Structure 1
Amino acid sequence: MSGPANPYRPGAGVPPPVLTGRDDVLARFERVLEEVSSGEGQRPWAVTGARGVGKTVLLLELLQRAEDAGWVTARLEAGPPDSLAAALTRALYVPLRRALARGGERGGALSRLLTVFSAVRVTVDSSGRLSLGVDVDAAAAGAQLDDDAGLHRLLHALGLWVRDESRAALITIDELDAAAPADITALNRALHLLGQDDLPVPVHVVVTGNPTLLAGLARANPYAERLYVLHQLGPLDDAAAAGALTEPATHLGIRWDPAAVDRAVAESWGVPYMVQSIGSFAWQVRAGESISLPDVDAAVGLALAEARGMHLARWDGSTPAQQAVITALAALGGEAPLAAVAERLGRTERSLGRVRADLVARGVIEGREGRLRFTVPGFAAFVVENH
């Protein structure tokens, strides 16, 4: 129907109109902004959670808050084809270009940064204008930056530069578990060295990954489990999910009926993507100035139909052994004790350990206190109907 534009924003990594349920981690980040800016060292953060819980959205909020505080920011996503060094080169290109455009450096800190940043080329044209280019494919870049000592030199030089500018820096690395093992090892060692500096440089690093990220980091470097401050993101609680639904509509003069809110929250499982999807479809089908229970019933069906592609990707990306566990769990309603899944398959719990761990790492299931549960609504029904 006509009227105010649909405020809901389903999509991968798309910020919602109202970010709810993350107040604690945001409050802790405000303290990081203060402490790092004042010269106190802070351990890097590792933000973990299943796909769809809003890790990337949280990163974007952290980046925005850092930028609002005057920090230099660099955002990168791990994984092929770039190494972390090449991705970091790309991410730092814009702040370095801006620094050069301002016409100079203080105390040679920018020059020292460019010296260790061998993939950066500074040129002067015939008019005397400075320009900066990045050769992300240069073999020298890998040789200089891919090892832990090279990354440490880069991060330390970056910190000296921003300190000379009376600023600080935030580097975010999304989906770190997609990085090559050698990259993860180099990053861990570089951050470990950075944390041992007598006078900490004002550089803060936040990485994200699936629930098993910290275990993967520890496999690369045993001390990594103590290196990072862990923040585990789960589904939104009922109050946060309700707020994500009602607040955007209220701002536009549209009211949610209480029963409609309750149904939408329950059917979304608190998964931020599904909250936004159900809200978006409910907005589209509503007939007046309120969103009713029948509107939500229709919206849930549309949201689950749209999620079919996500369900199909999770199934097709699974090995036969993983599909067997998925099928058994779906037959048990999508949530059950591991012992029940093992019994249905004629297996022991111990024999399913590796498959369970792989499914958790991929964000297909979550496992707590001996129970397994799919991480998104509708997947159990999809499996039962199609497999």
Structure 2
Amino acid sequence: MDPVTNPYAPGAGSPPPELAGRDPLRDRLRISVQRLRRGRSAKSLMMIGLRGVGKTVLLERMRQDAEAEGIHTLRLEAPEHRSLPALLAPQLRLALLRLSRTEQAQVLARRGLSALAGFARALKVKYRDIEVGFDAEPQPGLADNGDLELDLAMLLEEVGRAAREAGTALVMFVDELQYVAEEQLAALISALHRCSQLALPISLVGAGLPQLRGRAGKAKSYAERLFDYPEIGPLDDESATRALVNPAREESVEFEPEAITAILTASRGYPYFLQEWASHTWDIAAQSPITRADVALATLEVTAALDANFFMVRFDRITPAGRCYLRAMAELGPGPHRSGEIAAVLHKRVQALAPIRAALIEDGMLWSPGHGQTAFTVPLFDDFMRRTMSGDECWQAT
């Protein structure tokens, strides 16, 4: 096949040619933001799922949907070593400047900019990474107490009032939300709670790994009532088939049924992996229809590409002790696994391994589906660990 016309998009966060299987969530958000705009209650969303399920792509498509409805949005990705105030401040500034162009909201938007100036100046001592231009002078007592939870609530109140006056809403789209520090996550949840109490049109759509739900509940006990937590998982066979077949048909290319089954089985329905298999198979196939033999040949290239570009990036960050813990999990299969089972493979006590497990969860490599259970956050990582690392060095070290 001509690689120039290859329709698939396997890059991280790259929008696929067909976003299949996610329409119910998109409709859910559309209803939510329109309720907010009308002054009605609507829960914020925290979408949770493993790596490779397409959370980032879905988050951006939902943001575009909201913008098309006339909703003001901001888009953030929470890195591991940057504060939430530093991420929010410049984005809120842009949102307030946009709102200030609406005649009926000018006064409240300018007040919001004053609140932002006070917020940034008061918190810059604690969060030194805050960098934002000032478009108005701060007003004493307006979001300038130096207390993140109090000040962020006051700031979002002002933004919400301006958005309401402009006849719109503001929705914050935040990716990798599990990396936000607990104190800062608590402040964000508290601020959203206050806006909800005042019926202000401010909402959050977050995305993160499965541990996000527990982190939110730990940060604020009422988070479970403030948010819905839709789980983003692999595509069902029908949706995965559409994502695979329809882009090819746009280029007058077909797949044999056995080739479709082979790709769905190999990718396990995970959107990122499906795009990788489809893209490599397209490049290998000589003609239409694409066959199961083409998929078999492509699988060798896909495995090498995933090992080098997807799995190894994560593997390189892990300590030797962490790698042995993951290799022991891989020895047991895809999981989830009991902590005692993992400890038995390594011939160690569960308590001795607890700090390693906690560090891997904090780093986003593992999560706990239930008490004493451990699972990979990266699908197919058990296969990768068995290909990459012999367990002998771990077993012999114990």
- The TM-score range, normalised by the shorter chain, is 0.7 to 0.9
2:150 aligned residue: 149
SS in 1 for 2:230: strand
Distance 1:142 1:163, change over 3 A: closer
1:253 aligned residue: 252
SS in 2 for 1:208: strand
Amino acid at match of 1:216: R
Q: Tell me how far apart the structure 1 counterparts of residues 20 and 266 of structure 2 sit (CA, whole Å).
A: 18
2:297 aligned residue: 298
1:167 aligned residue: 168
Q: Tell me how far apart the structure 2 counterparts of residues 348 and 26 of structure 1 sit (CA, whole Å).
A: 46
1:270 aligned residue: 269
Q: Tell me how far apart the structure 1 counterparts of residues 85 and 143 of structure 2 sit (CA, whole Å).
A: 7
Distance 1:368 1:188, change over 3 A: closer
Q: Tell me how far apart the structure 2 counterparts of residues 377 and 190 of structure 1 sit (CA, whole Å).
A: 38
Distance 1:283 1:366, change over 3 A: farther
1:5 aligned residue: 5
Q: Tell me how far apart the structure 1 counterparts of residues 290 and 163 of structure 2 sit (CA, whole Å).
A: 50
Q: Tell me how far apart the structure 2 counterparts of residues 104 and 37 of structure 1 sit (CA, whole Å).
A: 18
Normalising by structure 1, we get a TM-score of 0.84
Distance 1:49 1:355, change over 3 A: farther
Q: By how many angstroms is 1:381 displaced? A: 4.3
Structure 1 residues 203-239: Cα deviation after superposition (integer angstroms, max 9, x where no partner):
2211222110121122222332333211121222222
Q: Tell me how far apart the structure 2 counterparts of residues 366 and 332 of structure 1 sit (CA, whole Å).
A: 16
Q: Tell me how far apart the structure 2 counterparts of residues 169 and 307 of structure 1 sit (CA, whole Å).
A: 37
Decide whether the 8 Å contact of 1:50 with 1:211 is kept in 2.
Answer: yes
Q: Tell me how far apart the structure 2 counterparts of residues 76 and 283 of structure 1 sit (CA, whole Å).
A: 34
Q: Tell me how far apart the structure 2 counterparts of residues 355 and 333 of structure 1 sit (CA, whole Å).
A: 19
Distance 1:120 1:319, change over 3 A: closer
Question: What are the equivalent positions in structure 2 for 1:1-387 lying under 5 Å apart?
Answer: 1-2=1-2, 5-79=5-79, 82-100=82-100, 102=101, 104-106=103-105, 108-118=107-117, 134=133, 147-197=148-198, 200-309=199-308, 310-335=310-335, 337-338=337-338, 340-347=341-348, 359=360, 362-365=363-366, 372=375, 375-377=378-380, 379-387=382-390
Structure 1 residues 214-267: Cα deviation after superposition (integer angstroms, max 9, x where no partner):
211222223323332111212222222222111111122111111111110111
Q: Tell me how far apart the structure 2 counterparts of residues 31 and 89 of structure 1 sit (CA, whole Å).
A: 28
Decide whether the 8 Å contact of 1:71 with 1:168 is kept in 2.
Answer: yes
Distance 1:143 1:161, change over 3 A: closer
Q: Tell me how far apart the structure 2 counterparts of residues 182 and 205 of structure 1 sit (CA, whole Å).
A: 17
Q: Tell me how far apart the structure 2 counterparts of residues 313 and 295 of structure 1 sit (CA, whole Å).
A: 28
Q: By how many angstroms is 1:368 displaced? A: 5.1
Q: By how many angstroms is 1:80 displaced? A: 5.7
Amino acid at match of 2:217: A
Amino acid at match of 2:185: I
Q: By how many angstroms is 1:178 displaced? A: 1.6
Distance 1:362 1:82, change over 3 A: closer
Distance 1:277 1:231, change over 3 A: same
Q: Tell me how far apart the structure 2 counterparts of residues 343 and 253 of structure 1 sit (CA, whole Å).
A: 54
Decide whether the 8 Å contact of 1:152 with 1:193 is kept in 2.
Answer: yes
Decide whether the 8 Å contact of 2:311 with 2:384 is kept in 1.
Answer: no
Share of identical aligned residues, percent? Answer: 31
Decide which moves more: 54-63 or 361-370: 361-370
Q: Tell me how far apart the structure 2 counterparts of residues 365 and 134 of structure 1 sit (CA, whole Å).
A: 39
Q: Tell me how far apart the structure 2 counterparts of residues 297 and 139 of structure 1 sit (CA, whole Å).
A: 64
Distance 1:325 1:293, change over 3 A: same
Number of residue pairs matched by the alignment: 372
2:128 aligned residue: none
Decide whether the 8 Å contact of 1:254 with 1:289 is kept in 2.
Answer: yes
Decide whether the 8 Å contact of 1:7 with 1:249 is kept in 2.
Answer: yes
Q: Tell me how far apart the structure 2 counterparts of residues 139 and 345 of structure 1 sit (CA, whole Å).
A: 58
CA RMSD of aligned residues (A): 3.2
Ranges in structure 2 where 5+ consecutive residues have no aligned partner: 121-131, 391-398
Q: By how many angstroms is 1:305 displaced? A: 0.6
Decide whether the 8 Å contact of 1:337 with 1:371 is kept in 2.
Answer: yes
SS in 1 for 2:287: coil
Q: Tell me how far apart the structure 2 counterparts of residues 237 and 354 of structure 1 sit (CA, whole Å).
A: 36
Structure 1 residues 258-317: Cα deviation after superposition (integer angstroms, max 9, x where no partner):
111111011112221111111111111111122111111122221111111322233232
Q: Tell me how far apart the structure 2 counterparts of residues 51 and 13 of structure 1 sit (CA, whole Å).
A: 11
Decide which moves more: 355-364 or 185-194: 355-364
Decide whether the 8 Å contact of 2:76 with 2:173 is kept in 1.
Answer: yes
Ranges in structure 1 where 5+ consecutive residues have no aligned partner: 122-132
SS in 1 for 2:277: helix
Amino acid at match of 1:70: G
Q: By how many angstroms is 1:9 displaced? A: 0.6
Q: By how many angstroms is 1:146 displaced? A: 6.3
